[in-house]
Amino acid sequence: MPASERPPAPERIPAAERREQILAAASRVFGEHGYAGATTDQVAQAAGISQPYVVRMFGSKENLFLEVLQRALHRLLDAFRVTLADGADEDAATLGQRLGEAYADLITDRGILLSLMQAFLLGNDPAIGAAARSGMLEVYRLLREEAGLSAESTVDFLAHGMLFNTLVAMRMPDDLERGDAAATELLQCSFRSKLDLVLGAMSRGAE
């Protein structure tokens, strides 16, 4: 039989590397559609593999989401810690601004902040809700104890982060092109210097 009749052999990749590919793909898919709205087949297609492989590697869809959540939290905490190490002994105001920039930088991988946000809305799910609460508190403690922000500053910081996530999740920047005055003002005042970064990341993400 001629070789052309046989389908090309699938690319074989070490499990650890494949795992990270799947997690990255799952972050995007879960971030866009939410936990319940996303399917393991969408994740598989985004990662370029078959659906059963996704399920087998992570055991279950819920488990996959939990690992996506842990990965997102880890990236977020890492980004903050790098920022803290970079500029020690700053005053609270500049530190807050630089943390905000580090946070906004995470948007270059849209999946991270969006799947985090999706997890936050799943408080009713026993496993996911517990992990989400624990993660939020971990972030809070980092800002309070390691960064040394006051309770008020920390809450302010978190609040603007949640608005940031929400505006990105609802694809509000898409309205910018429609020239809506309120949308323009809201986005400019929310994102400030990070507006260009966000716009770039979102138009790239649309493909």
Partner DNA sequence: GATTGAGGTAATCGGATGATTACAAGGGGA
Partner DNA sequence: TCCCCTTGTAATCATCCGATTACCTCAATC
Residue 116 near residue 35 (C-beta atoms within 8 A):
no
Residues 15-54 that bind its own copies (CB under 8 A): 32-37
When binding is defined by CB under 8 A, the residue of 1, 9, 16, 182 that contacts its own copies is: 182
Decide: 96 and 154 in contact? Cβ < 8 Å.
no
Taking CB under 7 A as the criterion, the residue among 1, 2, 5, 14 binding DNA is: 14
Rounded (5°) CA angle 166-38-9? 130
Candidate residues 56, 88, 178, 189; the one interacting with DNA per rule CB under 7 A: 56
Nearest to 42 by CA among 25, 55, 59: 25
Q: Residue 136 burial by CB count (10 A; 0-12/13-18/19+): exposed, middle or buried?
A: middle
With CB under 8 A as the contact rule, which of the stretches 20-28, 93-101, 105-113, 116-124 interacts with its own copies?
A: 116-124
> Which one, 57 or 169, has the nearer CB to its own copies?
169
Binding to DNA (CB under 7 A) within 58-97 occurs at: 60-62
Interactions with its own copies, residue window 83-112 (CB under 8 A): none
Distance CA 51, CA 48 (A): 9
Residues of the shown chain interacting with DNA in the complex, contacts defined by CB under 7 A: 6-7, 9-15, 18, 38-41, 49-53, 55-56, 60-62
